[in-house]
Amino acid sequence: MKFFATALTCAALMTSGFAISQASAESFDDAQKQEINTLIQNYIEENPKVILDALENYRLEQIRQVEEEAGAKAAALIEDVRENPNKFPTIGAKNGEVIVVEFFDYNCGYCKKAFETIQEALDKNKDVTFALIEMPILGPTSKIASQYSLAAEKQGKYLEFHTAVMNHKGQKDAAAMKEIGKKVGLDIARLEKDAKSDAVQEAIDANMKIAEELGITGTPGIIIESEIIRGYIPYEQMNSVIQAEKKKKG
């Protein structure tokens, strides 16, 4: 309530033409301050819509600024993927014309749908690179699956392991991950050791920090060049954005 009252007062000052500096405000005596407060209160009571509109405009401007900053950070992330192709697991074209980044969790149902969408996009766009960023936020088994997936990457089998985990319908505990590792031909002793390594944990921590900076709080989170899409999108929508980005590049 205190914040709301303060915001209303600020809005009233802005919309009613008051311009009182801190120095001049301090020169008013108590009676003058009371008179100003009464004027503000009367203005608020007589012009509620103007005040609410001012607050809504302020809210929208704050959102616009946040999204603008997030867009710049997204563009920087895409450039990082281009310049450092081994920083994150990637699939599709090498040095693709368009870069798509997906933040995902193996326990996320919509991420499984997004996996199918990405596969269709890859089949129909041979010049697109997908960077896959592990973002395990849905419980302990999400983290275990991410740890083992990043460990599988160290043996050059990330895509095979990633695909198997995405298609896996049971628990994603360590035993299940090791079983999947056997099926895709991994050295299980090395897999287990790498999954528990500091390097893998540091990679996951770095991913979570990137997501936080971009305002991505759920999965899937998708970035197509500088455009951030929070949530699942079907192939038609993803492809539309990809083609638009291709046109921008000429």
CA distance 97 to 3: 47
Q: Do 36 and 115 lie in a common domain?
A: no
Task: Decide if 17 is inside a domain.
Answer: yes
Total domain count, the chain: 2
CATH code where residue 145 lies: 3.40.30.10
For residue range 43-96, what is the model confidence (pLDDT) as tens digits? 777 777 777 777 777 666 666 666 667 778 999 999 999 999 889 999 999 889
The pLDDT value recorded for residue 16 is 47
Q: Within this chain, do residues 87 and 33 fall inside the same structural domain, yes or no?
A: no
**Pair (213, 165) in one structural domain:** yes
Asked if 107 and 139 count as a contact pair (C-beta separation under 8 A), the reply is: yes
Q: What's the domain range around 167?
A: 70-248
Verify that 98 and 154 share a domain, yes or no: yes
Asked whether residue 93 falls in the same domain as residue 10, the answer is: no
The per-residue pLDDT for 204 is 97
Strands of the 98-104 sheet, one edge to the other = 90-92, 128-134, 98-104, 221-224, 227-230
For residue 60, tell me if it sits in a domain: no
Q: What pLDDT shows up at residue 67?
A: 65
Residue range 30-50: mean pLDDT, rounded: 78
Q: Rounded to an integer, what is the distance from CA 151 to the centroid of its chain?
A: 24
The string of pLDDT tens digits covering residues 186-244 is: 999 999 999 999 999 999 999 999 999 998 999 999 999 988 999 999 999 999 999 99
On whether both 146 and 186 belong to a single domain, the answer is yes
Distance CA 232, CA 113 (A): 8
* Pair (40, 153) in one structural domain: no
Q: Is residue 160 part of a domain?
A: yes
Q: Judge contact between 159 and 108, C-beta under 8 A.
A: no
Q: Is 133 a domain residue?
A: yes
In the chain, % helix, strand, coil (3-state, to 5) comes to 65, 10, 25
Asked if 159 and 39 sit in the same domain, the reply is no
Does 77 share its domain with 37?
no
Residue 3 has a pLDDT of 42
| Whether 36 and 95 share a structural domain | no
Vertex 110: Cα angle to 148 and 133 (nearest 5): 40
| Residue 35 and residue 75 in one domain | no
pTM of the model: 0.74
Whether residue 97 lies inside any domain: the answer is yes
Q: Which residues are within 8 A (CB) of 84 and not within 5 positions of it... i.e. 6 or more apart?
A: none
CB 181 within 8 A of CB 161: yes
Would 32 be classed as within a structural domain? yes
Q: Is residue 221 part of a domain?
A: yes
Task: Count the Cβ atoms, other than its own, within 10 Å of residue 69.
Answer: 13
Which residue has 């003058």 as its token pair? 32
- Let me know whether 99 and 218 are in one domain: yes
Q: Is residue 21 part of a domain?
A: yes
